Structure 1
């Protein structure tokens, strides 16, 4: 197997660049946040329950109900879609109810 010298040099330069980039990132240097994974999960929860996600959920309910009215979508499929949307947007209040704790963190 022959190596192309230009390709090998490019790979070495990319490795060096990525190594410095990863080493100088805020997470690698140690950030002031005590819970990095929790903060990233909170960001994910905010994205999944934000205004854009609610608009997508409303559009999904409209499209599914239109599909049921025209006979293209099964009723059980429509019901499972609506239940899934309710569970997605009600999960944070359900977790707070089960855990019995006050609102802390991202929930």
Structure 2
């Protein structure tokens, strides 16, 4: 099985991202005394992905998709899958609370 140049580039980019994440988390682990460093970093990521800036970007994306559908530039199925993805991203915390049946504070 041969890999073309496009697959090789995407694999290298993914590897670079994973290595940079590993280096930053290990550097935090060496200098910190917190008990759950990875969990704290993931909570920061979740806060960034579901914060007010992310919600504003999601609303703008839905507006642009609506204009794209009206002008015929965007396929309706592509727009619907994007909108469903936005709803899942912002609704997953409520879904997890419903499934687990417990209330949590701070990070999901």
TM-score normalised by length of structure 1: 0.70
Structure 2: tracts of 5 or more residues without a match: 1-23
C-alpha distance in 1 between matches for 2:43 and 2:84: 23
2:6 is aligned to none
Deviation at 1:26, TM superposition (A): 5.8
C-alpha distance in 1 between matches for 2:28 and 2:43: 18
Deviation at 1:61, TM superposition (A): 0.3
Name the CA shift for 1:75/1:102 in 2 (closer, same or farther; >3 Å).
Answer: same
1:72 is aligned to 73
CA RMSD after TM alignment:
1.8
Larger radius of gyration: 1
- Poorly superposed stretches of 4+, deviation over 6 Å: none
C-alpha distance in 1 between matches for 2:59 and 2:42: 24
Map 1:1-107 to 2 at 5 A: 27-31=29-33, 33-107=34-108
Name the CA shift for 1:72/1:39 in 2 (closer, same or farther; >3 Å).
Answer: same
TM-score normalised by length of structure 2: 0.70
C-alpha distance in 2 between matches for 1:77 and 1:30: 44
Structure 1: tracts of 5 or more residues without a match: 1-21
